[in-house]
Amino acid sequence: MAQPPARRSQYTNDEKARAYLHIQTYNNLSQTERELGISRATLTQWRKEWDTKGLPPEIADLVREDSQRFRQQAELVRDAGLAKLLELINKADDPKLIVQVATAIGIVQDKVNMMSKVPEARSQRDLPDGEQLARGLGTFVGEMMAVAQDRRARLDDDASNVVEEQPFYEGLPAPDKEQE
């Protein structure tokens, strides 16, 4: 079992900024305690203070810098994932892989969006309004429909994928659908 964090009376603003981002991202004090080595009692105290008073300016500046750095790195990962997704769509070899890559891109994009506007306190988190949500979902659905239509056109063009249904002859037992 992991050792409990050592007691400290002073933490740097950098450590506090990392703790704030970790708490905002995962909302799990136990995980933050384990990963950053800061006691749960200290994290609880900080979170209460930040929720009521907001972040001190020096910590807020560090949070913005860290979130901007993360966002830039995540955008690079997202862009690489989009390039890979386009490559997979053009090949259309493995639909499951396409879905997995698209899901991973969506997760990274969520993190980019989240880090684009790190709230000053937990109570300031905003959900997208209906119009933003509709636009985002509309774009996603439209792109997925285009991919599906393109794939359907490729399958329709390839007559070798067509299997003719065998006629059913009277007097023979009906085929078992589970065995097909």
Residue 125 — very low, low, confident or very high, per pLDDT cuts 50/70/90?
A: very low
Spans of all domains in the chain: 10-55, 70-118, 128-156
What stretches of 27-179 show up as alpha helix (H) in DSSP? 29-36, 40-53, 57-91, 95-116, 130-157
**C-alpha distance from residue 13 to each of 22, 40, 60, 65, 117 (Å):** 14, 17, 9, 12, 20
Q: Decide which of 92 and 153 is more confident.
A: 153
Q: Which residues contact 44 (CB under 8 A, 6 or more apart)?
A: 29
- pLDDT at residue 120 is higher than 80: no
Report yes or no: 59 and 12 within 8 Å, Cβ to Cβ: no
* DSSP code, position 38: -
Report yes or no: 15 and 87 within 8 Å, Cβ to Cβ: no
Joined tokens for residue 32: 């933050």
pLDDT 10s digits, 53-79: 888 999 988 888 888 888 888 888 888
